[in-house]
Chains A and B, each alone.
Chain A
Amino acid sequence: MTIEARTPFTSLTSTYVLLPVDNVDTDQIIPARFLKVTDKHGLGASVFADWRLRADGTPDPDFPLNRPDAAGAEILVAGANFGCGSSREHAPWALVGWGLRAIVAPSFADIFKQNAMKNGLLPVAVDAVVHARVVAARRTDSRARLTVDLPAQTLSLDGKPIAQFGIDPFAKQCLVHGVDELGYLLDRVGDIDRYEASHA
């Protein structure tokens, strides 16, 4: 079985957007009415739809992603337990579709974290002190930049390392080398055959 390569994730430097709200659920990231699609594409236009867009469909200029200084930012700094609730993978599809490649938050919900990593969206968990520093820096200077170095597992603010972050070693390997998990799993088909034969 050949392993289908994905785009590797190594290092990312970008300005960032603040949404430091705890318990942002996946219904906010992509409301259920947008889940009637049958493909993964185009969901970026509906990311945070009920927060980003007014009832008449026009952008709310106060929502962080809509502000002029958010243009081009590839990193979102969010609150604790980001991505809780529904298992919809449409949430990372929408975030990636908008142009985001990493989320920095104090913690993440389990299913969201798994879904994100499978789509090249890196969840970076940081402690409260680092989180506060990143938030404060952005409030002072909208041009502040974060660097997420996945191989080194470091987060830097304007070029200065401020934290090490943890990540499951296998997930890291998959992201850094663009390993396709299904290909990896199908390479173990002999083990699966043996398991099924002994549990028939």
Chain B
Amino acid sequence: MTEPKTLFDKVWGAHVVREEASAPTVLYVDLHLVHEVTSPQAFDGLRSRGLRVRRPDRTFATMDHSTPTLPRKLAVVDPQAQAQLAKLQANCAEFGICLYDLESADQGIVHVIGPELGLTQPGRTIVCGDSHTSTHGAFGALAFGIGTSEVEHVLAAQCLLQSKPKTLEVRVDGSLPPGVGAKDVILALIAKIGTGGATGHVIEYRGSAIEALDMEARMTICNMSIEAGARAGMIAPDEATFAWLDGRRFAPKGDAWRIAVDCWRTLRSDEGAKFDAAVTLDATALAPMITYGTNPAMAIPVTGRVPALDSMGNASDRAALAKALEYMGLVPGAAIAGQRIDVVFIGSCTNSRLGDLRAAAAMMRHRKVAAGVRVLVVPGSKAIKHQAEAEGLDVVFRDAGAEWREAGCSMCIAMNGDQLSPGQYAVSTSNRNFEGRQGRGGRTLLASPLTAAAAAVTGWVVDPRTLLARSGGSR
């Protein structure tokens, strides 16, 4: 009788190239995704050693971080960003790597297009020089972010030296209430376990609330695993996964598809499999969440209050809270609802997919963006942009007074000119509320697309459920 295995154990075990007692495992990488910001130094490293890319057929590149989201022919990119994009183009040409550049119909945020093209598949190991690579775990892949040195390693060897991480079971049972979605689940989890709560671990999300989520919602959850410090996040593939992948460009076809699905069905944690740690969340008790501070664990229900300083158990937590609230310009103990806002950003690898845009559009349909508020809606990929336009979502956003942009990371990381001014408040569907993340001095409140859209039409932080009577959707 073999030991029951976790989903992670199975995927890890299938990719071990070599194990040695005194060294990390040599782990095979099935898919390497590349973008302009974290790759140029890795390609330079290859050149200086006279190396080739071992498996260009397993390497795919796109442009997303420093790319303009205004109409491309008119956009003025700064010379440094332009040089970075040109360098990626040249590197991909030199090393024979498929690049979805700004002219490509398949361009988009790297973690949006991987699944969209069917490159992301259950059981694969997937890496990218980007911490939100955890997104791909939604398909039962083992997917994690790496640094540029490791990008060079994978380009050269298609392998990484990796110490085996521990496992953390996150069980979410029950039905999510109306108006509460995946973003609220993951923010609630991070608030519960902290930004370092899953350090050294791969999370497997399980339970009835997770199984009930569609693939886009699962991607939102896995995406922010890194915000709890996790090495990766995974969800066992099921019928929803297979249905989503079926027919996508790089998904297996015909007999190969049937064989693949049979294999993928075995990718679930065995009965009795042991995790190194476990956490539970009650889905029925969750509310729409929003952050008030400068890391993603500083999150509360939108109906809640900013913590009071004396609610913190020790001096160091008190000091951290005071520092965060000073930056955010928020009052300890005050209700978060009613906080005025300047900008709403709907986009990023966390929440820029069609379902996210539908949820936001449902809230904004027949409503107007509040006076003085700027709203950016940035689809995750060109394909999503076209689908949204085919449904008329762009018209809903534009009629409401929002800006409808080209695909890219945009204001999530503020490298491309889309950014906050000092002191501005933004409700953002992205993943990080760190100081200056969306522009120096900018103040970010992370929330779901529904909550962000509700803020857009009211001009302040508001419980989206109070506006749901005339609209639908929850995400």
Contact = CB atoms under 8 A, between A and B. Distances in A.
Whether chains A and B associate is yes
Interface of A: 4, 21-23, 25, 27-28, 31-33, 35-40, 50, 55, 79-81, 84-89, 107, 109-111, 114-115, 118-119, 168-170, 173, 181-182, 184-186, 188-189, 191-192, 195-196, 199
Interface stretch (B260-268, B371-379, B389-397, B432-440): B432-440
Nearest to A106: B196
Interface in B69-83: 78, 80-81, 83
Contacts of B41: 38-40, 89
Contacts of A28: 434-436
Nearest to B144: A111
A168 B414 CA distance: 35
Interface stretch (B23-31, B175-183, B245-253): B23-31
A89 B147 contact: yes
B286 interface: no
B84 A27 contact: no
Contacts of B441: 55
Given A38-B41, A81-B199, A191 B18 contact: yes
B158 interface: yes
Contacts of A81: 195-196, 199, 229
Nearest to A92: B147
Contacts of B84: 36-38
29 contacts: A22-B320, A23-B195, A27-B435, A27-B436, A28-B434, A31-B440, A35-B66, A36-B37, A38-B84, A50-B435, A50-B440, A85-B227, A86-B131, A87-B131, A89-B38, A89-B129, A89-B148, A89-B149, A109-B196, A109-B229, A111-B131, A111-B145, A118-B149, A168-B163, A182-B156, A185-B26, A185-B160, A189-B157, A192-B54
Contacts of B231: 110
Contact of B80 (A25, A37, A191): A37
Contacts of A189: 157
A195 B17 contact: yes
A38 B161 contact: no
Given A111-B147, A169-B22, A185 B434 contact: no
A33 B441 CA distance: 13
B229 A110 contact: yes
A115 B437 contact: no
Contacts of A118: 147, 149-150
Interface string B164-203: 0100000000000000000000000000000110011000
Contact of A114 (B17, B23, B147): B147
Closest CB pairs A-B (n = 10): A89-B147, A115-B147, A38-B40, A81-B196, A87-B145, A36-B80, A87-B131, A89-B148, A118-B149, A191-B18
Contacts of B422: 55
A154 to B, nearest CB: 21
Interface residues of B, number: 65
A36 B40 CA distance: 10
B270 interface: no
B157 A182 contact: yes
B157 A21 contact: no
A74 B129 CA distance: 28
Contacts of B196: 23, 80-81, 84, 107, 109
B415 to A, nearest CB: 5
Interface string B121-159: 000000001110000000000000111111011001111
B436 A50 contact: yes
A178 to B, nearest CB: 15
Given A38-B87, A181-B161, A192 B415 contact: no
A111 B149 CA distance: 11
Given A38-B83, A186-B156, A188-B26, A110 B200 contact: yes
Contact of A21 (B163, B226, B323, B414): B323
Contact of A168 (B24, B44, B440): B24
A156 B302 CA distance: 48
B49 interface: yes
Contact of A170 (B24, B40, B152, B160): B24
A116 B22 CA distance: 21
Among B159, B295, B434, max chain A CB count under 10 A is at B434
Contact of B432 (A27, A38, A115, A173): A27
A195 B156 CA distance: 15
A85 B434 contact: yes
B2 interface: no
A182 to B, nearest CB: 5
Contact of A87 (B26, B78, B146): B146
Contacts of B40: 38-39
Nearest to B87: A38
B184 to A, nearest CB: 21
A168 B231 CA distance: 17
Interface string B45-87: 1000100001000000000011000000000001011011001
A111 to B, nearest CB: 6
A180 B26 CA distance: 15
B413 interface: yes
Contacts of A109: 196, 199, 229
Contact of B81 (A23, A36, A110, A169): A36
A42 to B, nearest CB: 12
A192 B28 CA distance: 8
B434 to A, nearest CB: 4
B466 interface: no
Contacts of B65: 35
B316 A87 contact: no
